[in-house]
Amino acid sequence: MKLKIETAQNCDREQLRKLLLEASEQLVGGGNHVLEARLRWEGQPILLADADLHPVLVSFDPDSSEAALVNGLQGVERLRSALPWINQVYDPLQQRQQSARLVVVAPEFPPGAEAVLHSCADLNLLRYRVLSVNGESGLWLERLSGVAAARSTPKAATQVDAERLPEQASNDILPALSEAENAYFQQL
């Protein structure tokens, strides 16, 4: 069969939500569960549970990467406070009380992505394009790694945006491990 792939026009928030739900496996891996397709919080993020039973907040915005990031960080903070309640309400979490992960999806990576990734161990930043394949719409998702962020982010923007992060959120988010630390903690 001949594939006809083209970029589609940018979608609105609800169309993006639908596409993200369809692409949940790409976002958080297989074996996930959708806990809430629309949380009534700022930005109306999606709440999933991954295969390891971590709650995963998917914060997205079809226009503004900064809004998606800030809403996501605030959402994770609320989620942390509400963790016992959330574990009671959503059976797929099996009362494991696991810490929450954050996935931020926007058309572009937010400015200051490097600083954010360095201070947030459980954060994934993704940008997307809507593609049409033989008339069917789908998402093309690109994940930002720390190295790519260093290449793509101007340093001045990094510093400004790191200062803008809510103080409490940055204090509660665990720092990432260096390569040497990661290697050290691979085994006992």
Partner 1 sequence: MVSQLNPAWQRKSASSSRLAEISARFLGETQESKQGNDLCQAIPFFLDGPEQRWITDELARILTERGHPCSACHWGDSNDPESSSPTAHGDTACATDAWCVLAVSSPDKLLRQDIDHVVLLVQADLDGVRIAYQRIKLLAQHGGPDIGIVLVGPRDQHAAWRYFRKLAVGALRYLDVPLLNLGFLPEQIAPGEDAEASHRHNFLARIGERLLHSGFYSTITTGAAQRGT
- Continuous segment of H or E residues that includes residue 77: helix 65-81
The nearer residue to partner 1, 9 or 171, going by C-beta atoms, is: 171
Q: Minimal distance in Å, beta carbon 176 to partner 1?
A: 8
Q: Minimal distance in Å, beta carbon 132 to partner 1?
A: 41
Residues 42 and 71 sit within 8 Å (Cβ to Cβ): yes
The nearer residue to partner 1, 31 or 154, going by C-beta atoms, is: 31
Residues 52 and 98 sit within 8 Å (Cβ to Cβ): yes
Q: Minimal distance in Å, beta carbon 126 to partner 1?
A: 23
Q: Minimal distance in Å, beta carbon 163 to partner 1?
A: 16
Positions in the binding site for partner 1 (CB under 8 A): 77-78, 80-84, 97, 99, 121, 167-168, 171-172, 174-175, 177-178, 180-181, 184-185, 187-188
Measured CA to CA, the distance from residue 30 to residue 148 in angstroms comes to 25
What residues contact residue 55 under an 8 Å CB cut-off, 6+ apart? 35, 47, 48, 49, 79, 83, 86, 90, 93, 98, 100, 101
The nearer residue to partner 1, 20 or 50, going by C-beta atoms, is: 50
Q: Minimal distance in Å, beta carbon 48 to partner 1?
A: 20
What residues contact residue 140 under an 8 Å CB cut-off, 6+ apart? 128, 129, 130, 131
Here the tokens at position 183 are 């290697």
The nearer residue to partner 1, 10 or 88, going by C-beta atoms, is: 88
Please name which of 69, 66, 65 lies closest in space to residue 57, comparing C-alpha atoms.
Answer: 69
The nearer residue to partner 1, 6 or 167, going by C-beta atoms, is: 167
What residues contact residue 157 under an 8 Å CB cut-off, 6+ apart? 111, 112
